[in-house]
Amino acid sequence: MSETKSEKQATVIPLPAPVLLPINGLDARFPVRRVYCVGRNYADHAIEMGHDPSREPPFFFQKNPNNLLSGGADFPYPPLSADVHHEVELVIALKSGGADIPADKALDCIYGYAVGIDFTRRDLQGEAKKAGRPWEIGKAFEHSAPVSALIPAARLGHPDKGAIWLDVNGKRAQQGDLEQMIWKVPEVIAELSKLFTLAPGDIIMTGTPAGVGPVKRGDRIASGVDGVGLLELSVI
């Protein structure tokens, strides 16, 4: 086979569009590689923060990069569910990675932060849990992960406290504080990197505080993390 090596490799179908997240104040975008999510990561309001000796190792699941919804786009209610829940979360975006990242080096991997919502088909997730099946049908559906524009850590620093909240139609539904996270951001990265080799472009949704609940078409959602950003959208 003698073919001239071209700049670009020919493909038999069109290349999938890269998933690019907007960055607050910059024209350049953040290209997404993988999307990881942390399971339950906020202690009950009654539990003292951060030093719960009975805490279990965190668990993880994934969404797909093209499940991300950015630019304030509205959230289309997904098919085959009658119980879609909001989960507001702090999102972290990695600029570097590796395996077995020590917690005291983990913050160096972070490009920036955003506010995200881990929309969940709770009814399908519940059935999957009951049957011991994977969670993807409850979690990794189209448009299931709206995110705000990223804020670079170079500008923001690394928030470890601050309100995280979500309103449905002007009424407060979720209210927590980043300092209630059972596994803090550096620990989340350290634990995840024991399981997977992390790399630039990976996104981690870090779990949600109490108050998750259902949404319906026509709902107006406003959510935020103090200092990080706001994420507003309608359910359509």
Beta strand spans in the chain (E): 20-23, 26-31, 35-38, 60-63, 68-69, 84-86, 88-94, 110-117, 120-121, 145-146, 151-152, 163-168, 171-177, 203-205, 213-214, 220-225, 229-234
Cα Rg, the chain, nearest whole Å: 18
Nearer to Mn ion, 23 or 208 (CB): 208
177 binds Mn ion (CB under 5 A): no
Instruction: List the one residue out of 229, 189, 216 whose CA is nearest residue 89.
Output: 229
The count of chain residues that interact with Mn ion, using the rule CB under 5 A, is: 3
**Residue numbers 205-224 binding Mn ion by CB under 5 A:** 208
In the complex, the smallest distance separating the C-beta of residue 38 from Mn ion, rounded to whole angstroms, is 7
In angstroms, the CA 85 to CA 62 distance is 17
Nearer to Mn ion, 23 or 204 (CB): 204
In the complex, the smallest distance separating the C-beta of residue 228 from Mn ion, rounded to whole angstroms, is 16
The Cα diameter of the chain in Å comes to 70
In the complex, the smallest distance separating the C-beta of residue 41 from Mn ion, rounded to whole angstroms, is 8
36 binds Mn ion (CB under 5 A): no
118 binds Mn ion (CB under 5 A): yes
Q: Looking at 30, 67, 87, 204, which residue binds Mn ion (CB under 5 A)? A: 87
Nearer to Mn ion, 23 or 120 (CB): 120
In angstroms, the CA 200 to CA 179 distance is 26
Look up residue 20 and give its DSSP letter: E
Q: Candidates 27-35, 67-75, 179-187, 200-208 — which segment interacts with Mn ion by CB under 5 A?
A: 200-208
Binding site for Mn ion (CB under 5 A): 87, 118, 208
